């Protein structure tokens, strides 16, 4: 297995949503920090990093899933006593909880019971509640000190090392070149997405014949939940096609409004108008039953937490500001000609100023035309068409 020494960036939230004075440092530099939270997108490598850090710490540390940590009593786990604990997957516990705060409170209670030992806690960035979570963890952190770290993406050299060591690829350089040519450079920066592309292409290095087939294959893989705990926590998890439909609807509204992304937080906790909460970006149409509106929001939040969206490097995670993982994927997922778009206050308040970055300057097309040209009609959800109104 190729070992990549990963770097991370300390999250410094600011009012405009950007991290200031960002400096990438090796994760190993934080070994003496009493407590930290490691944030990252699905498949970024948080668990792998924790395993390696725990192994390097030897008998002074122990690794435990967040689920086991809150379920097993302290008396049944003497190995937790007096050690630095690597608690992996707060998001997995939150996935099965109606109130995400409850999951963190259970972790806090267990840490308090253990006498507030040094700890590291990992969480998907989309499931992290920013300053609220950090402040609550300070109460159980040694000396009240805790840092929030974001796992940095793989560098191009990291991706090359991984690809060259992968026996499924006959020609790693050709694979990487073809991936970039097809518009998947950003996907190479995520270990799980990189593995997904390698798995899809196979040993012969044969990519799908057309650009459309390539994007459809990539989107289907990215919409799939790779984590067993997340899948099993939702007994009635919607199928991947429904996740893609919801993602496409979000992408269409973002492209039409010019907003860079959306927030996974409730509207009452939204802190950046450029990243609207789902309820504000796409509110339920008048007359929609509450249960139907809640079900739609639930699916849209699942779409935001999938690998189709990511926290862009350089932005604060305090408000779960999520953007499509790639502009071309957003354009592919967005609905097609003949599809009416929902009229929302948020959309009406913004000018349609998005442009395709794939076109040379001076020849860029309006987002509406890009949406119409790039999307796949097979991905359209039909159930909500009757409740939509065309944007004037």
* Three-class secondary structure of residue 62 per DSSP: strand
Domain that residue 247 falls in: 233-387
In a domain, 223, yes or no: no
pLDDT at residue 307 in the model: 86
| Residues 128 and 29 reside in one and the same domain | yes
| Residues 185 and 259 reside in one and the same domain | no
CATH code, domain carrying 97: 3.40.50
In a domain, 327, yes or no: yes
| Residues 19 and 123 reside in one and the same domain | yes
pLDDT at residue 338 in the model: 45
pLDDT at residue 317 in the model: 45
Which residues 6+ apart lie within 8 Å of 240 measured at CB?
220, 223, 224
| Residues 303 and 263 reside in one and the same domain | yes
In a domain, 217, yes or no: no
* DSSP H helices in 258-326: 278-281, 290-304
| Residues 258 and 342 reside in one and the same domain | yes
Residue 243's nearest CA partner among 310, 300, 325 is 300
Asked if residue 69 lies in contact with residue 92, where contact means CB atoms within 8 angstroms, the answer is no
Q: What is the pLDDT of residues 265-320, one digit of tens each?
A: 777 776 677 888 888 888 888 888 888 888 888 888 889 888 889 876 544 444 46
| Residues 327 and 285 reside in one and the same domain | yes
If you average pLDDT over residues 25-42, what whole number do you get?
95
Q: What is the pLDDT of residues 212-229, one digit of tens each?
A: 788 888 888 888 887 767
In a domain, 375, yes or no: yes
Q: What is the pLDDT of residues 201-214, one digit of tens each?
A: 765 657 887 777 88
In a domain, 226, yes or no: no
Helices 290-304 and 240-257 cross at an angle (nearest 10°) of 90
pLDDT at residue 336 in the model: 53
| Residues 56 and 172 reside in one and the same domain | no
In a domain, 65, yes or no: yes
pLDDT at residue 207 in the model: 81
Model-level pTM? 0.70
| Residues 135 and 280 reside in one and the same domain | no
Number of C-beta neighbours around residue 317 at 10 A? 26
| Residues 237 and 284 reside in one and the same domain | yes
User: In the numeric block, which tokens belong to residue 233?
Assistant: 């926590």
| Residues 239 and 373 reside in one and the same domain | yes
* Three-class secondary structure of residue 239 per DSSP: coil
Question: What Rg value do the Cα atoms of the chain yield, rounded?
Answer: 21
In a domain, 336, yes or no: yes
In a domain, 251, yes or no: yes
pLDDT at 105 over 60: yes
Give the model's confidence band at 96: pLDDT under 50 very low, under 70 low, under 90 confident, else very high.
low
Last residue of a domain, one of 141, 173, 207: 207
Rounded to an integer, what distance in angstroms lies between the CA atom of residue 292 and that of residue 299?
A: 11
| Residues 119 and 262 reside in one and the same domain | no
Distances in whole angstroms, Cα of residue 328 to Cα of each of 119, 211, 262, 336, 359:
39, 11, 17, 14, 11
Tell me, what DSSP letter sits at residue 355? B
pLDDT at residue 18 in the model: 44
Give the model's confidence band at 373: pLDDT under 50 very low, under 70 low, under 90 confident, else very high.
very low
Give the model's confidence band at 371: pLDDT under 50 very low, under 70 low, under 90 confident, else very high.
very low
Based on the structure, what is the number of domains in the chain?
A: 3
> How much of the chain exceeds pLDDT 70, in percent?
76
| Residues 22 and 123 reside in one and the same domain | yes
């Amino acid at each position: 297995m190729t070992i990549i020494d990963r770097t991370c960036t300390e999250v410094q939230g600011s009012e405009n949503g950007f991290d200031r004075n960002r400096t990438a440092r090796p994760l190993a530099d934080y070994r003496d920090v009493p407590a930290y939270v490691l944030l990252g997108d699905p498949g970024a490598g948080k668990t792998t990093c924790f395993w390696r850090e725990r192994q390097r710490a030897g008998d002074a540390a122990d690794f435990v899933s967040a689920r086991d940590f809150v379920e097993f009593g302290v008396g049944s786990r003497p190995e937790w006593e007096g050690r630095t604990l690597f608690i992996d997957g707060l998001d997995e516990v939150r996935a099965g909880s109606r109130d995400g705060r409850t999951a963190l409170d259970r972790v806090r209670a267990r840490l308090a019971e253990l006498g507030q030992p040094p700890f590291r806690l990992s969480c998907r960035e989309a499931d992290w509640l920013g300053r609220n979570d950090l402040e609550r963890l300070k109460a159980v952190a040694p000396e009240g000190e805790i840092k929030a770290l974001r796992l940095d993406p793989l560098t191009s050299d990291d991706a090359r090392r991984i690809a060259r060591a992968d026996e499924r690829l006959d020609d790693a350089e050709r694979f990487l070149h073809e991936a970039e040519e097809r518009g998947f450079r950003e996907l190479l920066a995520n270990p799980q997405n990189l593995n997904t592309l390698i798995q899809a292409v196979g040993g012969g290095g044969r990519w799908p014949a057309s650009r459309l087939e390539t994007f459809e294959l990539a989107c289907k893989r990215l919409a799939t939940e790779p984590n067993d705990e997340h899948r099993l926590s939702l007994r009635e998890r919607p199928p991947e096609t429904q996740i893609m439909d919801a993602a496409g609807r979000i992408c269409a509204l973002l492209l039409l409004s010019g907003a860079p992304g959306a927030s996974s937080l409730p509207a009452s906790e939204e802190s950046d108008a450029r990243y609207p909460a789902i309820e504000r970006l796409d509110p339920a149409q008048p007359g929609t039953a509450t249960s139907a509106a809640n079900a739609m929001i639930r699916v849209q939040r699942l779409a935001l937490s999938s690998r189709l969206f990511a926290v862009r490097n350089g932005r604060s995670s305090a408000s779960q500001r999520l953007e499509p993982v790639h502009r071309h994927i957003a354009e592919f997922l967005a609905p097609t000609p003949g599809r009416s778009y929902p009229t929302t206050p948020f959309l009406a308040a913004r000018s349609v100023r998005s442009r395709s970055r794939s076109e040379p300057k001076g020849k860029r097309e309006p987002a509406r035309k890009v949406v119409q040209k790039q999307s796949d009609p097979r991905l359209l959800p039909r159930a909500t068409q009757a409740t939509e109104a065309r944007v004037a």
